[in-house]
Every structure is written in structure tokens, then in C-alpha cells.
A = this chain, B = another copy of it.
Amino acid sequence: MSYRNRTIPELVERAIDGDNRAVGRLLTIVERGGVQSEEVAALTHPQRGRAHVVGITGAPGAGKSTLVGRLLAEYCRRGHRPAVLAIDPSSPISGGAILGDRIRMDDVVPEGTFVRSMATRGHQGGLALAVPGAVRVLDVAGFSPVVIETVGVGQVEVDVVAAADTAVVVATPGMGDAVQANKAGLLEVADVFVVNKADRPGATDVRRDLELMLDLAHVTGADTDASGAVFRPEIIMATATSGEGTVAVVDAIVDHFEHLHISDRLERRRAGRVRAEIRSRAEQELLDRLATMLHTGELDDIIRDSVASHRSPVQAAAEIVGRLTGNH
């Protein structure tokens, strides 16, 4: 029987039983969105929570994909069953290899690892909606860690990584990476820093810059959470091309997860993740409703009035929101 014709409860059941084809099919449904993806969410949401969700980000060219390949191999060696969700358009994992002279996927991903790339194309909300759903599918299917690889450039990408249990930020020498990371808001979300290409000149400078910024965060209290607990991210030096530092990076990621378990921070972080997903979905639904109203032409009278200068765009927008929310 074709996987295309199976019901969603069947697919979820098979995914839980370790059937990777069913997992792939569910991820396609989640990525596509719509009613079917909502059914997947309803079925997988209550069963979520076993996977360690690890977000990895950094500027393009930081060597994230090679590093992820090393981490996956180390996790496999330790008996884990990792999965990767690659939403980095420059990653060989997500197919970005076509564009450049990058290493091939086979060179990066160890056998037995589940790898899925997600397109960041299409409307902006797409990513914020699809990623939580995809993580849930991989979680329920028994993968752990579930690694989300992204490029820390846009706010959506930073949010995706920040919503992980453990956020890993990859910096490299000679790019002013520490400063860039600070600007992009990555410093605040990082739980583990990796200084990759540590064999290059300037690697210790990056480390010193990061230490300095963490010191400053400590002075201002930016590193304390609601309970007053302080967590200082570890900074690990690594050279992904040679494998140097891989074990230390995995240790730091695992240590952070244990630290979350001891406090109530894991629970709070995951509650925050649910809240963020609900918000993204509600936002998208509101924008979709507005788009539908615009599309059907039922707002054309208001817009025409504004084009003809009878009311300002501000007044026109207020009128439209009034119609949509029933306050008119």
C-alpha cells in the first residue's frame, strides 16, 4: 500500500514504530501546512517531549554543516539515534551544495541518521509554523537529539534556534563573529558557543571577545533567569574538518541538557516553545483572514475611498480591522 494513501493516524503509528518512510511522509505533510498538518499536530503534540532539541546556528561559511556531521557521528557512537532538520540554505544537507563548491552530503552525515532539509522559501511565517511541527514528528518517532541547523541571520531563524532546549552558536576567527553574533541577538540565546576553525589565526581572539561579552552580560544580570539562577555558556574550541573538539562539544551540549533537567528550566523553556508556536499560528491565521478579505474584493470600497483621498490609509486600515474583529 502506498504511503500516500495511508491515514494520518496510521502514519503516526508507523513513525512511532520506527518506520522512516512514514516519518518522511509526515514531514512532507507538516511542511505543506493545512488541515492535514493540523491533524498531525493534534496526534503528536500529546506524545512529544522525549527528544533533546538542539538548535545550531552561525554565519554562512562558519562550517556548521561539517560540525553537525561530526556531532552526529559522535552521538551515533554513544548509541543515540539523531535526526537533523536543516534549514540553512547554504548547507549541503539542505541542498545548498548545488550553489557552491561544498562538500557532498555523504561526506557529512553518518549512516543511520535521519536527515531532512526544509525550504525557507515561501511566506515568512512558513518556517515558524513548520519547524515546531517537524520537531514534534521526529521527537515522537524516537529520534534524539533532534538537531535544527539554521543560519543565524534573520529574526525567524534566531527564534527557531532560541526555542530549542539547547542553542549552539558557531563562530569562526577573522570575521568579527562575536560582534556579529551580539548584533543578531545570538549572544543572548546561546547555551553553548563553538569557536570553529580553531586552528586558524585569531581563534583565541574570538574566544576572548566572547568571554568579554559574557562577562558584561554577567555584570548587567542578563544571564540570570526568573529564579535568579545564573548559567554561563561554555565556549568550546573545535576544528570540524579534523574532528578536533567534537567530543567536548557534545559533552557541553549534554551538560547543558542535564543542567536544564536539574532546575525547572527545561519545563519552562518548553512551555515557552508551545507559547511561541501558538502565537505564530494565531498571527498567521489573522494575516490569512485579512488576505482572504483583500482577495475577495470586499474591502475594495474602503481602499477606493482612500485612493480617492476621502480617508487616510490609517483610517482605512482601522475600518478594515473593525470589520474583521466585529467592532464596527
Residues of A within 8 A of B (CB): 38, 41-42, 45-46, 48, 124, 132, 155, 270-271, 274-275, 277-279, 281-283, 285-287, 289-290, 294, 302-303, 306-307, 309, 311-318, 320-321, 324-327
Q: A290-B286, A324-B325, A326-B325 are known contacts. Are A278 and B42 too (CB-CB below 8 A)?
A: no
Which residues of B lie under 8 Å from residue A320 when comparing CB positions?
278, 282
Which residues of B lie under 8 Å from residue A275 when comparing CB positions?
303, 307
Query: Taking the nearest CB of chain B, how far is it from the CB of A39, in angstroms?
Result: 9
A313 touches B277 (CB 8 A): yes
A325 touches B289 (CB 8 A): yes
A326 and B326 alpha carbons, distance in the complex (Å): 6
B282 touches A290 (CB 8 A): yes
Which residues of B lie under 8 Å from residue A289 when comparing CB positions?
321, 325
Q: A274-B306, A303-B275 are known contacts. Are A38 and B314 too (CB-CB below 8 A)?
A: yes
Query: Taking the nearest CB of chain B, how far is it from the CB of A103, in angstroms?
Result: 21
Q: A278-B306, A282-B320, A326-B325 are known contacts. Are A312 and B41 too (CB-CB below 8 A)?
A: yes
5 sampled A-B residue pairs with Cβ under 8 A: A42-B312, A278-B302, A281-B313, A282-B290, A285-B317
Query: Taking the nearest CB of chain B, how far is it from the CB of A214, in angstroms?
Result: 23
Query: Taking the nearest CB of chain B, how far is it from the CB of A157, in angstroms?
Result: 13
B38 touches A307 (CB 8 A): no
Query: Taking the nearest CB of chain B, how far is it from the CB of A288, in angstroms?
Result: 9
A283 and B320 alpha carbons, distance in the complex (Å): 10
Q: A274-B307, A313-B274 are known contacts. Are A324 and B286 too (CB-CB below 8 A)?
A: yes
A317 touches B278 (CB 8 A): yes
Which residues of B lie under 8 Å from residue A307 when comparing CB positions?
270-271, 274-275
Which residues of B lie under 8 Å from residue A306 when comparing CB positions?
45, 274, 278
Which residues of B lie under 8 Å from residue A38 when comparing CB positions?
312, 314-315
A279 touches B274 (CB 8 A): no
A42 and B315 alpha carbons, distance in the complex (Å): 8
Query: Taking the nearest CB of chain B, how far is it from the CB of A96, in angstroms?
Result: 13
**From B286, B313, B321, contact of A321 by CB (8 A):** B286
A167 and B228 alpha carbons, distance in the complex (Å): 52
A314 touches B41 (CB 8 A): yes
Which residues of B lie under 8 Å from residue A48 when comparing CB positions?
309
What 6 pairs between A and B have smallest CB-CB spacing?
Answer: A326-B326, A281-B317, A46-B309, A282-B317, A45-B312, A277-B313
Which residues of B lie under 8 Å from residue A41 when comparing CB positions?
312-314
Q: A283-B290, A314-B281 are known contacts. Are A45 and B303 too (CB-CB below 8 A)?
A: no
A274 and B302 alpha carbons, distance in the complex (Å): 11
